[in-house]
Amino acid sequence: MTIDLDPTTTPATSALAPVRTAVKRTVLMCKPDYFTVVYRINPWMDPAIPTDTSLAVAQWQTLYDTYVGLGFDVHLIDPIDGLPDMVYAANGGFVIDNIAYGAAFTYPERQPEGPAYMDWFRANGFDVRVPVEINEGEGDFLLVGDVILAGTGFRSASNSHEEVSAIYGRPVITLNLVNPSFYHLDTAIAVLDDTNIAYLPSAFDEPSLAVLRERYPDAIIVTEEDAAILGLNSYSDGYNVVIAARAKDFERQLRERGYNPIGVDLSELLLGGGGVKCCTLELRR
């Protein structure tokens, strides 16, 4: 498949598809120099399966290069030896209006990442808010327009949703995750632009599904097969949507809706339970 990195180019879409507009993004990433799987804190991880750090770095580099090719402003935080999951930068915090709400991780293995990311935010001019409640950053907080969708059930505590609402003064909608394979909200929902999302219904309880159906009646419903390779763990600039290369039905649906899907292979990082979005923390000044 030819990958089109030009946001001004229009792919083959439905004649009825709306015109989408790319918006320049600023993101934070962390090179997986120390990536490996030596513990198990989600269903994707198995220390018995060997990992290839050099392959993880090469795949990550393709994602980095893709973002640069799209005109993104990409910042880097230095990886720390002994923190193999630090590559999943989305979990390091949540940033809106130059305010960085820090992460407080559930599992001890990842807890040192929280202070490391907050140190980076401070050094780069963000107003850092140290969390009181357990939360895993943009893994469980997704901004859709002026509304924050907030996940709970496995990692972030529901009372962190109140903390986020108080910090940012925006409406927060709690969504309950029920499938342990989709333990962060960004594995079950993809934000496509300020009004549109894609999601996997089976990842949520019925009250949460009712909210999603009411608020987003035109959402893309992703197949179980595409979700099972973390196809929803994608990142969009409003037109270009970087997704798992194997998520072919999601790719088709995105094209039909006027988006430009760009597939990348992060199969090695999938062994740690992360994909495109997990490696991407949006910095909103």
Task: Of 3, 71, 101, 63, give the one whose Cα is nearest residue 234.
Answer: 63
More confidently predicted of 12 and 226: 226
At CA 35, angle to CA 5 and CA 59, rounded to 5?
A: 20
- Return the pLDDT at 2: 35
- Return the pLDDT at 16: 80
Res. 41 pLDDT band, cuts 50 70 90: very high
| Cβ atoms within 10 Å of 211's Cβ, excluding its own | 16
At CA 62, angle to CA 47 and CA 274, rounded to 5?
A: 35
- The catalytic site residues sit at 184, 278
The pLDDT of residue 12 is above 70: no
CATH number for domain 26-282, candidates 3.75.10.10, 3.40.190.10, 1.20.120.1080, 3.40.50.880: 3.75.10.10
- Return the pLDDT at 105: 98
Q: How far apart are alpha carbons 253 and 235 in whole angstroms?
A: 15
Quick one: how far is CA 46 from the chain centroid? 22
- Return the pLDDT at 8: 39
2 backbone dihedrals φ, ψ, rounded to 5°: -80, 130
Q: How far apart are alpha carbons 69 and 25 in whole angstroms?
A: 12
Q: 250-260 pLDDT, tens per residue?
A: 999 999 999 99
Q: 52-80 pLDDT, tens per residue?
A: 999 999 999 999 999 999 999 999 999 99
Res. 5 pLDDT band, cuts 50 70 90: low
The full set of domain ranges for the chain reads: 26-282
What strand order describes the sheet that includes 260-264? 235-236, 240-244, 260-264
